[in-house]
Chains A and B, each alone.
Chain A
Amino acid sequence: MSWLMEVQWSPYAVGIGIGILSWFTWLISSKPIGCSTSFAKTAGLIEKLFRGNKVDDRPYYQEVKPGVDWQWVFVAGIIGGAAASSLLSGDFSWQWVPSVWEQNFGDNVLPRLATALAGGLLLGFGSRWAGGCTSGHGISGTMQLAVSGWISAICFFIGGIIMAQLLFTVIA
């Protein structure tokens, strides 16, 4: 079982594993692999803590009802799976600033957190605008040959490459 303790597997083994996993999510749960809807459901649940059931009046939450469903526990499971993998290999570490960020922008925590927060805002907003994320559109949509999936996936990378270039070649 030493393969379970390796820090990194071949990306092809991981990709084929994710592809096979998708067969089973469809066969057993009739669901595509996807993540971003759960963050919208969580946003609705949090808003409910403050505003109560009035939140259900928002047209968006009539389509995406706040609550815990298959995908929500799937996303929670990712946290556990990644923790298990990184603890088994010794790759787990509490880390504020990623090393590539540190090499370019220094080890100050605040700029990294501010950028991550801004990025998260755009990512959450954009994933709901597009109706999916790197997994729902980028993996599950493209493998179903959905036009929505291919267009979204291509635009994720176009936007990402533009911003990465801006950040690391213009600003850094």
Chain B
Amino acid sequence: MNIQATKKQLFWGLVFGIIFGFLLQKGGVTKYDVIIGQLLLTDFTVLKIMLSAVLTGMLGLHVMQRFGLIKLKPKAGSWGKNAIGGLIFGLGFALLGYCPGTIAGAMGNGYLDAIFAGLIGIIAGSGLFAVAYPLLKNRILTKGNYGNLTLPRLFKINEWLVILPVALIIFLILFMFERTGL
């Protein structure tokens, strides 16, 4: 085993992972039925969790960055990478009914389709990508490159002029879910 972090980093990684897994399970998203319900647009639990996490996280992270406590690291990307990779991911997401985070939660929940098929598939699929990478690297993965662009830099406006409207839109979407009984 090649250990790539200090003991302290590993300790906190484990603690945060346990909390994340606990929350995912309490949210119901370690279950195939809940995730497939979201993709069939009959159960909006997944979006409710994701959007309230994004709302809370976005406000806190940008306040902390404003006070110099943290430095955010938006990932670089491109249309070829994120849109095409995202669509492939989506097809797999619906077939498996778990994602890379929730499959770990599904394993903890005792779900054997996650342990004996999904997990093997994700690891093998990741390994296949490593094999295919040289063929894709300087071709499709760089098409429509936008680097580590963020929405405030895209629109060339102060970040709070993006954060506050996004927060409001998320709040209104969640409000609408509740009003319509979704």
Contact = CB atoms under 8 A, between A and B. Distances in A.
| Main DSSP-derived SS at the B contact region | helix
Contacts, number: 542
A124 B36 contact: no
A160 B40 CA distance: 9
Size bracket of the A interface: 35 or more
B12 A29 contact: yes
Chain B CB count within 10 A is highest, among A114, A117, A129, A144, for: A129
Interface string B1-12: 111110001101
Contacts of A158: 86-87, 90
A77 B14 contact: yes
A52 to B, nearest CB: 13
A29 B87 CA distance: 31
Given A23-B64, A94-B112, A125-B128, A33 B20 contact: yes
B61 A22 contact: yes
B65 to A, nearest CB: 9
Nearest to A61: B130
A79 B108 contact: yes
A43 B90 contact: no
A24 B56 CA distance: 12
Interface residues of B, number: 126
Contacts of A78: 17-18, 20-21, 24, 101, 104-105, 108
A81 B75 contact: no
Contacts of B118: 116-117, 119-120, 123
Interface of A: 6, 8-9, 11-12, 14-33, 35-36, 38-40, 42-47, 58-61, 64-86, 89, 91-101, 112-165, 167-168
